[in-house]
Amino acid sequence: MNGVVVVDKPSGPTSRDVVEEVKRALGVRKAGHTGTLDPLATGVLPVCVNEATKLVQFLALDNKEYRATLRLGVRTDTLDTEGSVLSREEPRVTREQVEEALAGLKGKREQVPPRYSAVKVRGKALYNWTRRGIDVEAPARDVEIYDIRIEEILLPEVTFAVSCSKGTYIRSLCAEAGEALGCGGCMSALRRTRSGHFREETAVALEGLTGEEKRERLTANLLPPTEILPDFAVIDVDPPLAEMLRNGYQPEGEVLTRYHIPFLVAGDVIKFTLHGDHLVAVARMLCASDELASSAGKRQAVRILRVLND
C-alpha cells in the first residue's frame, strides 16, 4: 500500500497526531505529512504512506493557500488565540486601512518563525527552547506572499484568503498586519485550502468514524505514487531498465534514446515509470533531451534522486 491521502485535519490534534491516526487505520509502518499545520488549524494535510514517504521532499516545496481570520486588538505570545494575552485594545480602523495593511504584506520578504513553532534550532523544536525560558531565535527565511484577498470584515475580526510560498507562517502575517494598524493582532482561525495540487474538495475527514470506516475511506482515497507529482515529465521504461534503476544504476544518455523522451533541459526533475502505473524513480536531468544521443551519449544523463519499490 503506497501513495498519498489528503486528510482534512480538524482543529485540536497536531499534524503528527493525524499521521499516527492514518498509520493505525491503514496498519502501515511508514507515513509522513508534507507540511505542518498548527493544532489550531484545519484543512488540507497530505499524508504520504510507505514508499510515497520518499516523495515528501518534493511535495514540501509546494505553494499553499489558506483562509485565515485575524483578530485585531489582541496581542499574544504565540501570535494566535491559543497563547497568553499580552495586551488588548479597541481596534479603531477603517476598511480602507485594513485593506492597505494586508496589501502591504504581498511580495517577497524575510520572515522569522514564531518563537512557538516546530522549526528546529540546534536540534530542538523552537517551542521547546521557548518553554524552557531560553531565548533562541531562528534564522529568518525567505518567503513570498503571492496574493491576499479580504473575504469579510466584522470587527474585531478580518477573514482573508492568502496564497503563499512554503514555510510561510500565517500567524506572523496576522501579527504584522495588527502592528501596521497600530492595535496589534493575532490569528483566531486558519484553514489550509490548498497544498500544491491537493485541494480541500478532495480532503478526507476522519472525525467520528470507526477504525474500519477510517480504513475504508482512506484506502478509497489513496492516490498512487504515479499521480502525486503531476508537473514532472515522465519517461516510461521497460522492466529490465526499471530493475537496474532500482538497483542503483545511473543511466547514460544512449540508454534512454530508445524511449520516448519529452523536451527536457538540464535541471528538470523527471519521473521514471513502469507500464505507466508504477513509479520507479525520481531523477534530475544532467543534460537536455536533445543531447542524449550526442557525443555525451555514454556519459551519465540523469542523477537519480529517489528510488521507489512501488
Burial of 87 (0-12, 13-18, 19+ CB in 10 A): exposed
Q: Rounded to whole angstroms, how far apart are CA atoms 260 and 116?
A: 50
H or E segment and range at residue 240: helix 239-246
User: What is the SS3 assignment for 104?
Assistant: coil
38 is catalytic: yes
HSE-up of 60 (CA within 13 Å, CB side)? 14
Q: 250 phi and psi, to 5 degrees?
A: -105, 105
71: which 3 cell numbers?
483578530
Cα distance from N-terminal residue to C-terminal residue, the chain: 9
Catalytic residue among 8, 17, 38, 310: 38
Burial of 97 (0-12, 13-18, 19+ CB in 10 A): middle
Q: Which residues contact 130 (CB under 8 A, 6 or more apart)?
A: 115, 116, 136
Catalytic residues: 38
